[in-house]
Amino acid sequence: MNQLRRLRPSPAMVVACIALTVALGGTSVAAIQALPRNSIGAKQLKKNAVTGPKIKANAVTGAKVANNSITGADVNEGSLGTVPSATNATNATTATNATNSANATNATNATNATNAGNANTLGGIAASGFLRSTRDGGGALAGANINADGTVNAFFNRFGGAPSVSHTVASGVYIITFPGLDGKLLNSQVIHIATLFNTTGEIWTSSSGGNPYVSTRDSAGAVSDHSFYYTVFGTNLAP
């Protein structure tokens, strides 16, 4: 009996044990109690404590995200579709490319236009002068359609303007002067060709002082004024 009494705890020991139990169990009791709304904030969370697996899918919506808090670095661009702004940007790029293409075309056209303007000259010489040097090949230098009275119906002249015709009525003689070729159409340098038109008769041509000389006659060989064509071809005429 005396031994059993010695093993019984004293009242003070019982009280102490109860107090220790309450002290140690208080935290656990508090942990299972409901927390007040909005009682946990950034200060109560340990850094890096909240990770992806701990967040419910679709739990974070636009209403829960602060404006301008998500930047491009946080977004997987591959997961995005085409948004209206991107469409406009694409259209803007297309428009820019179209403008650049149009500008390039215009630049090409402008260059071509410049070249076309320069096409009238070669080495500063007008196109009408390309046949001036005919040493390596003949070319028509000038020609005219002349009436019986010496007036000019039509002409061409690689070296100048309209020809003038010296003619005396009923003489059958016509001396033609082409500007730019005056005195240069010698028999030894060019080939004269003439033929009558709207009439029958005779015609012959030569050079007088380096200018075309044409004589016309009727069918009997008598001097007579007639309308005719005249053309001169260069063989070795120097420019």
Instruction: Give tens-digit pLDDT for 104-151.
Output: 677 666 666 666 666 667 766 666 555 544 445 568 899 999 999 999
Could you give the 3-state DSSP secondary structure of residue 167?
Answer: strand
Query: Is residue 224 a contact partner of residue 201, using CB atoms and an 8 Å limit?
Result: yes
Could you give the 3-state DSSP secondary structure of residue 225?
Answer: coil
pLDDT at 142: 94
Q: Which of 136, 167, 170 is nearest to 230 (CA)?
A: 167
147 part of a folded domain:
yes
The list of the chain residues with pLDDT below 50 reads 1, 4, 29-31, 132-135, 239
E strand or H helix at 212: strand 211-217
pLDDT at 56: 74
Query: 131: which strand partners?
Result: none
pLDDT at 129: 54
79 part of a folded domain:
no
Q: Which residue has the tokens 């096409």?
A: 119
pLDDT at 237: 57
Query: 139: which strand partners?
Result: 234
220 part of a folded domain:
yes
**Tally of structural domains, the chain:** 1
185 part of a folded domain:
yes
Domain that holds residue 191: 134-234
pLDDT at 59: 73
140 part of a folded domain:
yes
174 part of a folded domain:
yes
127 part of a folded domain:
no
pLDDT at 133: 45
88 part of a folded domain:
no
Q: Six-digit token pair at 157?
A: 């002249």
φ, ψ dihedrals at 147, nearest 5°: -75, 165
Number of H helices and E strands in the chain, helices first, is 3, 10
What is the 3-state secondary structure of the chain?
CHHHHHHCCCHHHHHHHHHHHHHHHHHHHHHCCCCCCCCCCHHHCCCCCCCHHHCCCCCCCHHHCCCCCCCHHHCCHHHCCCCHHHHHHHHHHHHHHHHHHHHHHHHHHHHHHHHHHHCCEECCEEHHHCCCCCCCCCEEEEEEEECCCCCEEEEEECCCCCCEEEECCCCCEEEEECCCCCCCCCCCCEEEEEEECCCCCEEEEEEECCEEEEEEECCCCCECCCCEEEEEEECCCCC
